[in-house]
Structure 1
Amino acid sequence: MRAKDIMTSPVHTVAQTATVESAAQLITANAVTALPVVDGAGRLVGMVSESDLLWHRVPADPTAHLNRLPDTDPANRPGMVAEVMSSDPLTTRPDADVADVAGTMLETDVRSMPVVEDGVVLGIISRRDILRAMVRSDEVLTAEVQHRLDEYAGGHRWAATVQGGIAHLTGVFDDDPEQGIVVVLARTVPGVAAVDLGATRPNGG
């Protein structure tokens, strides 16, 4: 399963020149925890999260306002996203394996990663996206794998059954290339962990 299979797209982005308040509104309105930040050409330049936006708005010390600390003084608060965003964010590619993406998220304690190609944000993948894909029932996966195979074949040539995330396929293949295509079709269904072939070629080949 690849990042492009489960990423959210199109993705909500915010300009680096946008106000902190407008970024906060976007995050709240779209129920996300972070937004990719783009420049005037639409290329990724950073990420801004809920914590980035709150850092200069809510003091860690409830009594900080009494001492007029620079970080919490309204006169010194950053106004633009570029001033509070995290530069050089972790990104992933559309063809990245979801298991690798999940590992990176856990190791670096990030909740979402932009999916980028040639500097352009194609989507975003979050921990929630990964969990949603991984917890799909075998019945749902069976139906989706079967649909993909039937659509490719133009009819019912192979039977699919998913058990424990493993897609078991039975039927007849014309040749190795066709077998390879069928395996790829089944393997790319989000939630399918592996493919088991019980199929054979004609005449036992």
Structure 2
Amino acid sequence: MRAKDIMSSPVHTVRPTATVESAAELITAKAVTALPVVDTADRLVGMVSESDLLWHRVPADPAAHVRRLPDTGPGNRPETVGEVMTPDPVTTRPGADVAEVAERMLEHDVRSMPVVEDGGVVGIVSRRDLLRVMVRGDDVLSAELQHRLDQYAGGHRWTATVEGGVVHVTGGFDDDAERGIVVVLARTVPGVAAVDIAATHPD
């Protein structure tokens, strides 16, 4: 499964010159956690998240809401998306494997990732999207992998079982190349954590 199979599209975007308030309204209205920031040519220049928009908007002093804060003067609080966004965001491509997308999101600790093609944003993948396809029961994983193996072989040559996210495939292989293909097929099933296949050959 690829990023293009689970991404949301079209994508809600915002300009760097947009106000923090308008971006917050868009995030709330569309029930998303972050927005890609694009320039006038629709090229990705950053990401702005809920936490970015809240930054400098929450009083540091817990008691600040019960007393009048001194006037700090104009210009000290960010007003535009460009001032609070994260530049050079982590991205992925439409053809990236879902497991690769999940790994990058966890590695960089981001909750959503723009899908970029030719410099433009064509979709966005969130952790919720990944949870929907990757956190599944062993029986579901076994059934999906068995279907893929049967399609590849043109019949039932191998039996796939999954325990704790680990794939076990029984049956003979003509050679190591065929065994490698089965390993690749197993790894393309979202939710598979590891693959354990014996290098057996038919007598």
Q: Which TM-score band (shorter chain)?
A: 0.7 to 0.9
- The SS at the match of 1:10 is coil
**Does the alignment pair 1:180 with 2:192?**
no
Q: Give the 3 Å change call, closer, same or farther, for CA 26–10 of structure 1 in structure 2.
A: same
Worse-matched range after superposition: 58-67 or 172-181: 58-67
Q: Where does 1:12-161 land on structure 2 (aligned, <5 Å)?
A: 12-16=11-15, 17-55=17-55, 57-60=57-60, 61-62=64-65, 66-70=69-73, 78=79, 80-92=80-92, 94=96, 96=100, 98-99=102-103, 101-105=105-109, 110-116=110-116, 119-129=119-129, 135-161=135-161
1:158-184 alpha-carbon deviations (Å, 9 max, x no partner):
211001111111233344433322211
The TM-score normalised by the length of structure 2 is 0.72
- The SS at the match of 1:14 is coil
Could you list the runs of 5+ residues in structure 2 that have no partner in the other structure? none
Q: Is the Cα–Cα contact under 8 Å of residues 8 and 125 in structure 2 kept in the other structure?
A: no
How far is 1:134 from its partner? 5.2
Q: Give the 3 Å change call, closer, same or farther, for CA 196–169 of structure 1 in structure 2.
A: same
Could you list the runs of 5+ residues in structure 1 that have no partner in the other structure? none
Q: Give the 3 Å change call, closer, same or farther, for CA 36–178 of structure 1 in structure 2.
A: same
Q: Give the 3 Å change call, closer, same or farther, for CA 45–198 of structure 1 in structure 2.
A: same
The TM-score normalised by the length of structure 1 is 0.72
1:194 maps to amino acid: A
How far is 1:121 from its partner? 3.6
1:90-123 alpha-carbon deviations (Å, 9 max, x no partner):
4456354644542332xxxx43343445544454
Q: Is the Cα–Cα contact under 8 Å of residues 105 and 112 in structure 2 kept in the other structure?
A: no
- The SS at the match of 1:23 is helix
